[in-house]
């Protein structure tokens, strides 16, 4: 098996196929064998596990996932990487590469087709330009997954795992933590990638909860309230919610705050 963490091997493989790193697709490939080992270990994969990988790149994480899992399906948007992956994954007969934009992938169909309806684990080094959209899509189809272990920009990992009252706690945090338990597992410096990204990274694991962490009577209204509350963090909740077109007048918000023992000028 090719050592795809070796920068010389990466350069060789890329030049063999005339492939350049596509910055616009977030192509920063991992070169740390230790980090890959940690990701695979912390995502708790064994020979019965079905894995969905998003963005295999040249297949460095894929190789390791394939060695531990039952089946790996890797969705890669860049068609120029297909011949590369054919080459680097030639020995991995439990991997299927699908050339698709994950944002357009029919997740239920993919999971039924390749995983027979059994819950899969998502493991990936995500492209940073659409991380939050991918996370929200995975959450939308949470019934198909038991966990999501992903490398993301450190700041995004901190937003997902933020505690209430902290600066980076916002609507995205609430959405993630409503459905998942979030834990940052590893911090990863830029020099562990080629080319090195401008930002630091972190591996976060989201365990999908059996039932949401908060009990709501009307989930849609709950998320409207959350979004409106955090839309302008400098506004008081009374002003944010009464001006949000969700049918809440100032008096209603004030009496709700009062019933909760919260100050009338509190912010989200
Ligand atoms: N897994 C490899 C690694 O760890 O070295 C590559 C990770 S790289 C950060 C992100 C990968 O996602 C790239 O291969 C990129 O082409 C791919 N990608 C970008 N946008 C995508 C999308 N919308 N759907 C699927 N793959 C995408």
Mutating to test ligand 1, I would choose from 3, 19, 20, 25 the residue with most ligand atoms within 8 A of its C-beta, which is 25
Closest atom of ligand 1 to CA, residue 78: 16
Residue 228 has pLDDT above 90, yes or no: yes
**The pLDDT value given to residue 41:** 97
pLDDT in the model for residue 1: 86
The best mutation among 55, 135, 137 to test binding of ligand 1, ranked by most ligand atoms within 8 Å of the C-beta, falls on 55
Ligand 1 centroid to Cα of residue 3, in Å, is: 19
pLDDT band at 137 (very low <50, low <70, confident <90, very high): very high
DSSP state of 116: T
Instruction: Report the separation in Å between the CA atom of 78 and the middle of ligand 1, taken as the mean of its atom positions.
Output: 8
Please report which confidence band the pLDDT of residue 112 belongs to, taking 50, 70 and 90 as the band edges.
very high
Sign, CA dihedral 170-164-124-46, equals: negative
Give me the mean pLDDT over the 169-173 stretch: 97
Average pLDDT, the chain: 96
Query: Given a cut of 90, is residue 117 above it in pLDDT?
Result: no
pLDDT tens-place string over residues 13-40: 999 999 999 999 999 999 999 999 999 9
Predicted local distance difference test score (pLDDT) of residue 84: 97
Asked whether 105 lines ligand 1 (CB < 6 A), one says no
Burial class (CB in 10 A: 0-12, 13-18, 19+), 231: middle
User: Does residue 93 surpass a pLDDT of 90?
Assistant: yes
Strand (E) or helix (H) holding 161:
helix 154-161
Q: Is the peptide bond before 195 cis (omega within 30 degrees of 0)?
A: yes
């Amino acid at each position: 098996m090719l050592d795809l963490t070796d920068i010389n091997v990466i350069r060789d493989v890329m030049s063999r196929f005339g492939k350049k790193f596509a910055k616009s697709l977030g192509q920063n490939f991992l070169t740390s064998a230790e980090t890959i080992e940690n990701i695979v270990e912390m995502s708790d994969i064994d020979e019965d596990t079905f894995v969905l990988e998003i963005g295999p790149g040249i297949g460095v994480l894929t190789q390791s996932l394939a060695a531990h899992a039952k089946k790996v399906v890797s969705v890669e948007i860049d068609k120029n990487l297909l011949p590369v992956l054919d080459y680097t994954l030639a020995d991995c007969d439990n991997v299927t590469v699908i050339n698709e934009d994950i944002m357009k992938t029919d997740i239920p169909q993919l999971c039924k087709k390749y995983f027979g309806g059994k819950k899969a684990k998502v493991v990936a080094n995500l492209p940073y330009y659409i991380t939050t959209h991918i996370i929200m899509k995975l959450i939308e189809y949470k019934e198909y997954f038991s966990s999501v272990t992903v490398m993301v920009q450190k700041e995004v990992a901190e937003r997902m795992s933020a505690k209430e009252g902290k600066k980076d706690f916002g609507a995205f945090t609430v959405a993630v933590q409503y459905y998942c338990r979030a834990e940052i597992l590893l911090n990863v410096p830029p020099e562990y990638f080629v080319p090195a990204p401008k930002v630091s990274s972190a591996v976060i694991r989201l365990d999908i909860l059996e039932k949401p962490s908060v009990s709501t009577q009307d989930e849609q209204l709950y998320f409207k309230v959350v979004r409106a509350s955090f839309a302008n963090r400098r506004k008081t909740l009374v002003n944010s919610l009464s001006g949000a077109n969700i049918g809440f007048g100032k008096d209603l918000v004030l009496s709700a705050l009062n019933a909760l023992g919260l100050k009338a000028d509190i912010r989200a």
